[in-house]
Amino acid sequence: MDLTALVSALLMGLVEGLTEFLPISSTGHLILLGEAIGFRGPPGKVFEISIQLGAILAVIWIFRAKLWRLALGMWRPATAERRYVINLLLAFLPALVLGATLYKTITTLLFSPLVVALALVAGGVAIILIERFRPEARVHEISEIRPGTALLVGCGQVLAMVPGTSRSAATIIAALLLGVDRRAAAEFSFVLAIPTMLAATVFSLWKARADLDVSQTGLIAVGFITAFATALLVVRWVLAIISRMGFAPFGWYRITLGTVALAWLALR
């Protein structure tokens, strides 16, 4: 493993951990970064899929106590834990159904820097407008979310299949529009990422099984560990400050990055 490949894997893992749970699109950042530094990891997106798993495990670790309470309490009728789990399952359902159906079409047609740049700008504008004009929050706990609302949040998550949209942004925006407050929307997005991303990772690795190569496990390990460690810090930070600063700064960041990317693509 040469030094250039090692540094590239480290950078990719760092960006994955930083962006996976922010409403700024981790996939979009990885596509743009990979294009900019000329990174060519294991074929079939195996590298990107594997480091995504590192970020997922970070969220599982952070929410381990809550996940344990949900696992124990979901079996008791009329409990907040059962309502929480039902909401997660309902929100996960649209991605489960449409993800497998549209996977090949989306990865073939839409995984390009131009699509990412346009989606970053459009999503940034949407975040800023919704932060300014969103309805007053009526729901402050995930267990208070109605089943129909959870399903609509899941439908919003499907939009994140377009690279550059951001799974976090899609779910958070949908939740805010439906009257969920910022912190509950962020937590719901993070916890919903666990079944969604685990399913996507398993499915993607299965599709790319012919491209798995043990000779490149070193690169994958570097990216995986970096993504895990970085995501641990980012998720805690976001939950701590999101209720104070809101999501508008992420919207402006998206617009800036998308505009810079469009200019770069036009000039190169």
Task: State which residues form the domain around 165.
Answer: 3-267
For residues 165 and 21, what is the distance between their CA atoms, to the nearest angstrom? Answer: 12
Label residue 151 by pLDDT band (50, 70, 90). very high
208-267 pLDDT, tens per residue?
777 666 667 888 889 999 999 999 988 888 777 776 788 889 999 999 999 999 999 998
Residue 148: burial class (beta carbons within 10 Å; 0-12, 13-18, 19+): exposed
pLDDT per position as a tens digit, 85-128: 999 999 999 988 887 777 677 767 677 889 999 999 999 999 99
Domains held by the chain: number: 1
Write down the number of H helices and E strands in the chain: 11, 0
Q: Percentage of residues in the chain with pLDDT exceeding 90?
A: 46
